[in-house]
Amino acid sequence: MIQETVSREVVVGIREGLHARPADQLAREARKWQSRIEFVGSGQRADGKSILELLTLAAEAGTRLVVEATGPDAREAVEAIGGLFARNFADPAGSTEHT
């Protein structure tokens, strides 16, 4: 089984930063994938499948993080998670999140 590692830089675009709601969305998305998913920022590493670990990053608006995925579906996982950041965690179906 191939254990590919893929990484991508993302920027927290929500003016409130990476608070509980987007951390929950990230963890739920990360748990959909088999790959190990981690976020790296300010010398810290957090398990992307853990809301509490994501919150420990204390990522404010404008913070740059690196999302790393290692596993059989790493590329797809990073793409999906990057999409959350690109949309500022808004629902892709068209509803908007209050920011």
Condensed to tens digits (0 to 9), the pLDDT of residues 45-80 reads 999 999 999 999 999 999 999 999 999 999 999 999
Q: Is the pLDDT of residue 95 over 60?
A: no
Of the candidates 96, 87, 91, 89, the residue with the CA atom closest to the CA atom of residue 54: 89
Domain 4-86 CATH superfamily? HPr-like (3.30.1340.10)
What residue segments make up the domains of the chain, in order of their start?
4-86
DSSP string, 43-60: TEEEETT-HHHHHHT---
Q: Which of 6, 17, 19, 40 is catalytic?
A: 19
What percent of the chain is predicted at pLDDT more than 90? 85
- Flag whether the pTM goes above 0.85: yes
Asked whether the beta carbons of 17 and 59 are under 8 A apart, the reply is yes
Q: Catalytic annotation on 98?
A: no
Query: Strand order of the sheet with strand 44-47?
Result: 4-11, 64-71, 36-41, 44-47
